[in-house]
Chain A
């Protein structure tokens, strides 16, 4: 913990994330539903930032500031759950293919490498086009397409650990698969998995915004990517409506960067060599 705090950029990232999480949790409680209802808002559309609407309004007259706060939840939720899914699959595949040798390991490695080279976005687009629109679909589409890098790292770590004498000793003393994996392999991959998970959240948030921008998001929910989709659809660029274009993008960049910085600081802590 103290070593993590020694990384200034990592600490800054953690603070940013705490603020974002707070906004995401509090916003739905404080924002009245009619403020985000297209049919009930009273403010004029495309209003530049001013005293009353300090981030301006969108194409329907909703406040951009409120949309931003409301969108934080969706972006963070999708990022976190998709990352957990991806890292979970990756860890499972990595440990299984590293621990059990033979045909199974070879086949899993083949499949991992196959998915590693395929463009994840293309697969995610295909998945979210064929499945019904919704939050679950996006999480699935991102999670199912971004596990291979974790699997590679975890597999390598599993192989390294299992070559160490103390694992051999555990085996000689009669430790079964469950014992070796549970007591020796798993504890040694946890730090790596944490680092990977943090970085996976970062790329999952970018992926969510991209899918939402392409119109594959959950149409009933507000997210930063969905706001940019609306901005593109309703011509925020030709109108030079910078107040509708800048905030969602900046929010994505800041949060993703924060996750990346935290991930890199964690990486430096768990692999102290460099």
Chain B
């Protein structure tokens, strides 16, 4: 029953995402065609044709219906700048983003949780103070600025634009090395920003457990300190932390937008930037719906995962 509730809630959220995506770009003052063609020579006839092409000349409820049924079929309209279906453009850019976000998240989770555990276990130690201080500072650092700084400091050491060079040999190994080389700076930027948050979450989660009676019992049994930490304290403390990691997926999304913009990484984040500089409303709407939908799904997964990992939480 709880499972059905969760699934229903997620489905409702997805519908709300779709509705939000539609109205955000329709209720705004001004004519989307006028603002999208601003700065380009267009005749009234062209604008009329564009309006008809995008369906903007029809009543709002008809527009909504065709938009919504389109979504269910996986159609997101046509991009104004790319002159191609939005869904195709987004799919094309999905790979690089998954590579960047996936690598960075794995490193950030590992490093963040490790640091958080160390800091909380030796509370007020030098490591704790440094971890907390650095995390708070990194939280205050704008992602894009960190990226620009890294770019300037490392100079020619790492490539700073795009995902691969055009003159790399086409065999798999050279290509992979080239992409990996390009991946260094963007992923370091993203890791730095996201990892700080994870470390703080893990730290406070473990601090909650520190005075639990079962740890006193474990110590009374004569277990060594790091056995108490690894076998008893961390497994309990890591559960809420992992859920929070999933819940903060929006943070990674925001980080990816600015990181990809700074490093011209050809993923969804850079596509966001292209869409907003256009401005290309249909592309932006598609991106909003896709990323928000993905975040909703990730949250559902976090809920379910938490139920599996922690039997005290009954989800199923």
User: Which A residues contact B (CB, under 8 angstroms)?
Assistant: 110, 114, 117-123, 125-127, 129-132, 202, 206, 209-210, 213-216, 225, 228, 231-232, 236-237, 240, 242, 245-246, 248-249, 252-254, 256-257, 260-261
Given contacts A125-B272, A126-B24, contact A237 B151 (CB under 8 A): yes
Residues of B with C-beta under 8 A to A254 = 140
Determine whether the beta carbon of B145 is less than 8 Å from that of A228.
Answer: yes
Q: Which of B140, B143, B295 contacts A118 (CB 8 A)?
A: B295
Residues of B with C-beta under 8 A to A245 = 145, 148-149, 152
User: B residues 43-82 with Cβ under 8 Å of A?
Assistant: none
Determine whether the beta carbon of A121 is less than 8 Å from that of B257.
Answer: yes
User: B residues 1-29 with Cβ under 8 Å of A?
Assistant: 9, 12-13, 16-17, 24-25, 28-29
Give the nearest-CB partner of B138 in chain A.
A253
B197 to chain A, nearest CB (A): 12
User: B residues 270-316 with Cβ under 8 Å of A?
Assistant: 272-273, 275-277, 279, 281, 284-285, 287-288, 291-292, 295-296, 299
Some 21 contacts from A to B, beta carbons below 8 A apart, are A110-B12, A114-B13, A119-B249, A119-B250, A119-B292, A121-B250, A122-B257, A122-B287, A122-B291, A129-B284, A131-B28, A206-B140, A213-B142, A213-B144, A213-B145, A214-B257, A214-B258, A245-B149, A246-B149, A249-B141, A253-B140
Determine whether the beta carbon of B139 is less than 8 Å from that of A117.
Answer: no
Q: Which of A130, A216, A231, A256 contacts B148 (CB 8 A)?
A: A231
Q: Is the interface of A mostly helix, strand, loop or mixed?
A: helix
A80 to B74, CA, bound (A): 41
Determine whether the beta carbon of A129 is less than 8 Å from that of B279.
Answer: yes
Q: Is B228 an interface residue (CB 8 A)?
A: no
Given contacts A125-B272, A232-B148, A252-B145, contact A117 B257 (CB under 8 A): no
Determine whether the beta carbon of A120 is less than 8 Å from that of B296.
Answer: no
Give the nearest-CB partner of B28 in chain A.
A130
Q: Which of B142, B160, B272, B281 contacts A249 (CB 8 A)?
A: B142
